[in-house]
């Protein structure tokens, strides 16, 4: 495929879906699997289904504080006609199930939440439904068999899936694994992603030239590195190189030796110094260069030795769109990790927005409640894919899909929250 | 306030809102402020409004690739009647604005996205709307003043707020700060939270006794530590102590010497060995002990030297409710950090659920699309606040507020997603 471009525009623009499909169809990489302590597994995708090695609870146990009884003894018990049972012992959480008092007919045992149900008993009367009177308890409410009891294997039956392959370990998974006595699990190592910026005019923030005429501070790379970090990947900062094919090639090689994927920024638009797609074409294969979306039209991707190369715009907002649309879904696909839930809200759009047929548009919007408490969606002005303030002012993104012509003022739209609603 | 309890139940149960209010009204702690490099600020709440120190862009610049022109020269230009202008130079992103070609009447300059608008020009014709013919360009579409131009200060005007005090630094903030030349910002140091488990029967996962009769593996503490970590706080593991007032007191003291807050687990239910609230009452003040919510009724909080003490249940699901309801909002309040957007979806509930008047209930539910694509909400069976599988099986939480009696099968409800929708 030719990557030739001219001042007249990109050739062979592909749709967002086609573009993503082409990456997923072409990557060929098996992420490393490592074994970690469950305390260190938070946020990492598990490499295989994690299953319960045993029943939890390992025995019937009380779900409440109260009195272990034979349910048949409580038949007809009410507040006015309580049933009196003799207390024969006490059972606490953690007591050895093989050394418990036996509850016979007309008897009860004081029991605490989590304690094993003593032999003979088949239910627990809640403390609120009973009164202790010396050596006896007066039961004021009848219980049915296994009422207020957590049955053996009720939480996890042996063999039950606790975490599905590819899913990220959440805090409650860590709790569940601990309660199952599982100390280590197999997870995918954090994917390493090299980030390389190109552009002779682009300088790093800590470069002494930063801020002098003729330079542009690299704001895109720190943003991408932060996005990768926030998403649980391991960014590798490859720095900024000038528009020089040999230097770009050498850095891409270096990046792909250590990383599972590489992101380049800059060098994909129509300027005369756009070298990245040509370099990638010589090192591997360019899958697409130019996508029917905005911002982010000058986004490309390629494959080198089975690893994805994301060629993003050098402009922050366009590169963010490229990241969300291609980088994140591809990296999650590599470990079989489903998308996180997205906070979606509905609101009324404050002014007309138009879309170009066949283009997917990502509009930055501000969502706020009006004086009547209705959610309003205000599109922020955009003239350029470099305007970062539309992101710092925005608290949501409105996606106009390819088949949407636009919206009129007052139309209800669904937007994706990226910051708290209270945002200014 | 007395913290005396009996087997008959908790005295003086407070509502969730009253309980949280009492904590927020009583804490008295100024979190530490530190200065960090913007690359290290991701996820930390800023300690003061961060404002733009200068205009961005610092000059008018092109928002597209194309030709810088005098807009008046393009009047009436169309595809069939193009206007021919003489190209007098080329301007690239990063070129020194004081050394640019001057665009006179009937002239144009080739210009790239981000490049400074050369003197004389007041608009840019997009590359797509022009054709180069030798030393000339044929403009096929008229432009109005400042069309395709990003005006000076359009992104950030000097003094504009980039990040509001208390808000967490997001990836695009890092980008915005870099583009503004800001290298360091003041943020609140991650709040340190000590976590102490109590219970003579409770053993740590790596304790050789773990799994033997008479012991319960501590699954609550690893879950809480993971929650704190996921929320951007710094957990300090204080281990597990037996039900011994002196040991609990000593560990709470130790924890509060190094941490901004402490969470205890266990020792707050109705069992005979419930010591934590008594210890806290002697060290400071107990604000409440017992809340009208489920799970998590045996949740308490106190204040010692202005620092919050959260007394959570030893049972995982109840402690999770306590964490979400009290710990997270209190810690965010301490730095003025608004709640993150919550992913909410609507679905039809599959069976009847009842609530007890005046109680706030947190139901674990599974949300899935049925064969017609409608979202269904299935309440998961609960018998105990210890049942972790309801969390690993759940992908959402349904909150039944105090004034909600319940829902009938088929009712539409709003739930909060905690895991991907595709979850099993």
| B304-343: pLDDT as tens digits | 999 999 999 988 889 999 999 999 999 999 999 998 888 8
Residue to mutate among B7, B90, B269, with most A CBs inside 10 A, is: B7
Interface of A with B in 282-311 (CB under 8 A): none
Residues 6+ apart with CB under 8 A from A148: A62, A63, A64, A66, A123, A124, A125, A126, B383
Query: Is-cis flag, bond preceding A295, omega within 30?
Result: yes
Structure tokens of A288?
């697409």
> Which member of B162, B171, B385 has the closest CB to residue A226?
B171
- State the count of interchain CB pairs (< 8 A) between A and B: 314
Greater confidence (A355 vs B45) lies with: B45
Q: Are the Cβ atoms of B202 and A95 closer than 8 angstroms?
A: no
Nearest CA in chain A to B96: A214
Q: Find chain B residues with C-beta within 8 A of A132's C-beta.
A: 7
Given a cut of 70, is residue B252 above it in pLDDT? yes
C-beta separation of A34 from A191 below 8 A: no
Q: Do A223 and B150 touch (CB under 8 A)?
A: no
Task: Check pLDDT > 50 for residue B4.
Answer: no
Whether B410 shows a pLDDT value over 90: the answer reads yes
| The pLDDT of residue B147 is above 60 | yes
Instruction: Determine the pLDDT at residue A27.
Output: 96
Please tell me the predicted confidence (pLDDT) of residue B33. Answer: 98
Domain ranges of chain B: 16-32+191-334, 35-56+156-188, 61-150, 344-417
Measured CA to CA, the distance from residue B333 to residue A336 in angstroms comes to 36
The yes/no answer on whether domain B61-150 falls in CATH 3.20.20.70 is: no
B297 with B248: CB under 8 angstroms?
A: no
Closest to B297 measured CA to CA, from B248, B356, B236, B218:
B356
Label residue B123 by pLDDT band (50, 70, 90). Answer: very high
CATH superfamily, with its number, for domain B344-417 = MoeA, C-terminal, domain IV (2.40.340.10)
Q: Would an 8 Å CB–CB cutoff place A209 in contact with chain B?
A: no
B199 touches A: beta carbon within 8 Å = yes
Of B8, B163, B419, the CB nearest to A392: B163
CB B269 to CB A65 under 8 A?
Answer: yes
CB-CB under 8 Å, A420 with B340:
yes
From the list B7, B97, B162, the residue facing A213 with the nearest CB is B97
B-chain residues within 8 Å CB-CB of A207?
Answer: none
Q: Is the pLDDT of residue B381 over 80?
A: no
pLDDT: is B214 or A112 the higher one? A112
- Helices in B146-203 by DSSP H: which ranges? 171-179
Q: What is the mean pLDDT of residues B23-36?
A: 95
The helix/strand/coil state of A26 is: helix
d(CA B174, CA B180) in angstroms, rounded, equals 10
- Of A335-344, B39-48, B266-275, where does mean pLDDT reach its minimum? B266-275
Q: At A393, which helix (H) or strand (E)?
A: helix A389-393
Q: Does A220 touch chain B (CB under 8 A)?
A: yes
Contact B316 A179 (CB under 8 A): yes
**Does B81 lie at the interface with A, CB-CB under 8 angstroms?**
no
Q: Check CB contact under 8 Å for A202 and B148.
A: no
CATH code: domain B16-32+191-334 is: 3.40.980.10
DSSP secondary structure letters along A320-364: HHHIIIIIHHHHHHHTTPPPPP--EEEEEESS-EE--TT-EEEEE
Q: Is the dihedral of CA A391, A397, A402, A403 positive or negative?
A: negative
CATH architecture for the domain at A16-32+190-334: 3-Layer(aba) Sandwich (3.40)
Q: Which residues of B touch A155 (CB under 8 A)?
A: 386-389
pLDDT values of chain A reduced to their tens digit, one per residue, 424 residues: 333 444 444 556 899 999 999 999 999 998 999 999 999 999 999 999 999 999 888 889 898 889 999 999 999 999 999 999 999 999 988 788 888 999 999 999 999 888 899 999 999 999 999 999 999 999 999 999 999 998 888 888 999 999 999 999 999 999 999 989 999 999 999 999 999 999 888 899 999 988 777 778 899 999 999 999 999 999 999 999 988 999 999 999 999 999 999 999 987 555 545 689 999 999 999 999 999 998 888 899 999 999 999 999 988 889 999 999 999 999 999 999 998 888 888 899 999 998 888 999 999 899 988 888 888 999 986 555 566 787 888 888 999 999 999 999 999 999 988 887 764 3
At residue B140, the pLDDT reads 96
Handedness of CA B373, B376, B380, B381 (dihedral sign): negative
pLDDT at B282 over 90: yes
Q: Does domain A63-150 have CATH number 2.170.190.11?
A: yes
Segment B213-237 mean pLDDT: 93
User: Per the CB < 8 Å rule, is B201 touching A95?
Assistant: yes
> Rounded to 5 degrees, what are φ and ψ at A2?
-75, 145
Question: How is residue B73 annotated by DSSP?
Answer: G
- Chain B interface test: which of A113, A136, A137 (most B C-beta within 10 Å): A113
Q: Which CATH architecture has domain B35-56+156-188?
A: Alpha-Beta Complex (3.90)
User: What is this model's ipTM?
Assistant: 0.87
Structure confidence at residue B384 as a pLDDT band (50, 70, 90): low
Is A384–B176 a contact, with Cβ atoms under 8 angstroms apart?
no
Contacts of B7 in chain A (CB under 8 A): 65-66, 127, 130, 132
Nearest to A114 among B216, B222, B417 (CB): B216
The CA distance from B287 to the nearest CA of chain A, in Å, is 24
- At the topology level, CATH places domain A34-56+157-188 in Molybdopterin biosynthesis moea protein, domain 2 (3.90.105)
Chain B environment of A230 (Cβ under 8 Å): 42-43, 170-171
Q: Does B369 touch chain A (CB under 8 A)?
A: no
Asked if residue B3 has pLDDT above 50, the reply is no
Q: How far apart are CA A219 and CA B175, in angstroms?
A: 4
φ, ψ at B318 (rounded to 5°): -65, -40
């Amino acid at each position: 495929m030719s990557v030739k471009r001219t001042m007249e525009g990109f050739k062979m623009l592909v749709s967002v879906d086609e573009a993503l499909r082409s990456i997923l169809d072409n990557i060929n990489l098996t992420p490393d699997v490592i074994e970690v302590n469950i305390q260190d597994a938070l946020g990492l995708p598990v490499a295989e289904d994690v299953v319960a090695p045993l029943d939890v609870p390992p025995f019937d146990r009380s779900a409440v504080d109260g009195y272990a009884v034979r349910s048949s003894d409580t038949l007809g018990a009410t507040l006015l006609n309580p049933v009196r049972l003799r207390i024969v012992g006490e059972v606490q959480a953690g007591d050895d199930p093989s050394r418990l008092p036996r509850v016979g007919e007309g008897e009860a045992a004081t029991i605490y939440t989590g304690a094993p149900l003593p032999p003979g008993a088949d239910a627990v009367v809640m403390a609120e439904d009973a009164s202790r009177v010396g050596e006896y308890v007066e039961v004021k409410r009848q219980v049915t068999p296994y009422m207020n009891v957590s049955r053996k294997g009720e939480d996890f039956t042996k063999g039950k899936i606790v975490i599905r392959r590819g899913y990220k370990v959440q805090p409650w998974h860590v709790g569940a694994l601990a309660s199952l006595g599982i100390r280590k699990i197999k997870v995918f190592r954090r994917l390493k992603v090299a980030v390389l910026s190109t552009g002779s005019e682009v300088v790093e923030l800590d470069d002494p030239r930063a801020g002098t005429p003729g330079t542009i501070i690299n704001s895109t790379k720190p943003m991408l590195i932060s996005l990768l970090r926030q998403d649980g990947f391991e960014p590798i900062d490859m720095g900024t190189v000038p528009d020089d094919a040999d230097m770009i090639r050498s850095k891409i090689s270096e990046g792909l030796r250590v990383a599972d994927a590489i992101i380049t920024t800059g060098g994909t638009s129509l300027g005369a110094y756009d070298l990245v797609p040509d370099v990638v074409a010589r090192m591997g294969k360019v899958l697409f260069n130019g996508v029917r979306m905005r911002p982010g039209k000058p986004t490309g991707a390629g494959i080198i030795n089975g690893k994805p190369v994301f060629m993003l715009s050098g402009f922050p907002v366009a590169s963010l769109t490229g990241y969300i649309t291609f980088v994140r879904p591809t990296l999650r696909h590599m470990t079989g990790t489903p998308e996180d839930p997205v906070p979606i809200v509905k609101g009324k759009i404050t002014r007309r927005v138009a879309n170009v047929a066949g283009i997917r548009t990502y509009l930055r919007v501000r969502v706020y409640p009006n004086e009547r408490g209705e959610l309003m969606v205000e599109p922020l002005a955009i003239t350029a894919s470099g305007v970062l303030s539309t992101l710092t002012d925005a608290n949501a993104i409105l996606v106009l899909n390819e088949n949407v012509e636009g919206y009129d003022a007052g139309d209800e739209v669904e937007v994706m929250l990226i910051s708290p609603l209270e945002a200014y």
